[in-house]
Amino acid sequence: MLTSAGLSLTPAADPAADPATPQPPRGFTALFNGRDLSGWHGWDIHAKGASPADLEKLPPQEQAQRFAAWTEQARKHWRVENGELINDGRGPYLATERAFGDIELLVEYKTVPGADSGIYLRNTPQVQIWDPNQKYDPKNPHRKPHLGSGGLFNNSPGAPGRDPLVRADKPFGQWNRFRILQIGERTTVYLNDQLVVDHARMENYWNRKAPLPRTGKILLQTHGGEIRWRNLFVREIPPEEANERLRQHRADRFRPLFNGRDLTGWTGDTASYTVEQGQIICQPRKSGVLYTREQFADFTVRLEYRLPPGGNNGLAIRYPGKGRPSTDGMCEIQILDDDHPRYARLDPRQFNGSAYGIAPATRGYLRPAGQWNFLEVSVRQSTVTVELNGTRILHADLAAITTFKDNQPHPGITRRSGHFGFAGHGDPVAFRHIAIETLTD
């Protein structure tokens, strides 16, 4: 984790006697206390060796020294007046000392003509703030300030969320208010109560081949003109709420595959699975395949799963109804407590979320054993995409893969339809809220 050195611009006061002390809504905490910059430090993120990856390589003491130097520079450009945090448009950015994962963030800001600013999430740029009165410049077609603030400006051109859905900025001199929700990479932004980004993936600016980090700091970016901030409040979103929010997004497109009561609509090794409290649970020491009677071609499936310590199961994708899902089906998506010591030496193509033996998923986004995870798997022709707890951990065209674990043949990899199911491996892994959307485009 990135360490830091605190920044204090004015003497601390008694909060009870200070009218500038912000009052967070229920469930939120204040990131800025209205008096000084306790809890923040400077970060000259564009300096040489200042990227998150570069800083993580440093010993903690050297990292802290860098932050301390940037904090000293920040004192020249940041000040606090009347409960407002003010920057003159120059100098290092401010970063929270704490790192955050899934959050709801409330921020108010007021800026000036020509200004350019933003909010970094998980050390990553950014929710954009700028002067929307600037004209579109055809010589710089990807820069579109006239569309307004709130977009994920550092997403790839044309990617969802990069440009705001509506222009919602208030006139200069008035305060603007952001409400930002981020669950995994999935980011939703409201500006002045208008939806400007809807559940878009926030790309990892520092490494576009990698997912957004699981956690990171909140940064206030500023350059080009004065900006004022106030009422900065954050609420960490717990796993159950995160799963619910992910499940409810465009829920009308999905239909249940499981009625929560029995195995109606399912076949295969039904004796190896039980239904308890709205969950399908693989019985201990049972290893059969439970699969839907219905077959699917292109689809997106959503579900939640809970692993016991060391638990192992899998999702059968385009399964023919016999044989092994991992080889006779298109693939098996691994469901595995891969943090358990017993799995320390696995092939990368065996870790959680991987197309088993074919394509490795990115690790580090699985919740601890015993917690429910939200999984979304999309299959379009030969491409498989896996999102775990809101973060894309696998996106692979299986038709382009020619080397497999242990040189194991995969005769089913070219299948274009089949059953969906669960491949038991002897552990009581539980599944619930199983729903599917058939894809036709």
Pairwise CA distance, residues 357 & 336, whole Å: 14
Pairwise CA distance, residues 35 & 290, whole Å: 60
**Domain range summary for the chain, segments of one domain joined by +:** 15-237, 243-438
Query: What's the pLDDT score for residue 18?
Result: 64
CB atoms within 10 A of CB 22: 18
Query: What's the pLDDT score for residue 87?
Result: 96
Query: What's the pLDDT score for residue 4?
Result: 45
Phi, psi of 348, deg, nearest 5: -55, -25
| Residue 199 near residue 249, CB atoms below 8 Å | yes
Do the domains 15-237 and 243-438 sit in the same CATH topology, yes or no? yes
Residue 329: helix, strand or coil by DSSP? Answer: coil
DSSP assignment letter at 152: B
Structure tokens at 66: 């860098």
Pairwise CA distance, residues 113 & 127, whole Å: 18
**Cα Dmax for the chain:** 73
Residue 66: helix, strand or coil by DSSP? Answer: helix
CATH topology of domain 15-237: Jelly Rolls (2.60.120)
Residue 75: helix, strand or coil by DSSP? Answer: coil
Pairwise CA distance, residues 177 & 181, whole Å: 13
pTM: 0.94
Amino acid at 267: T
Residues 243-438, CATH architecture: Sandwich (2.60)
pLDDT profile of the chain (441 residues), mean per 10? 44 51 96 95 95 96 96 95 95 97 98 94 97 90 93 97 98 96 98 98 97 98 92 98 98 98 98 97 95 98 98 98 97 97 95 98 98 98 98 98 95 98 97 97 75
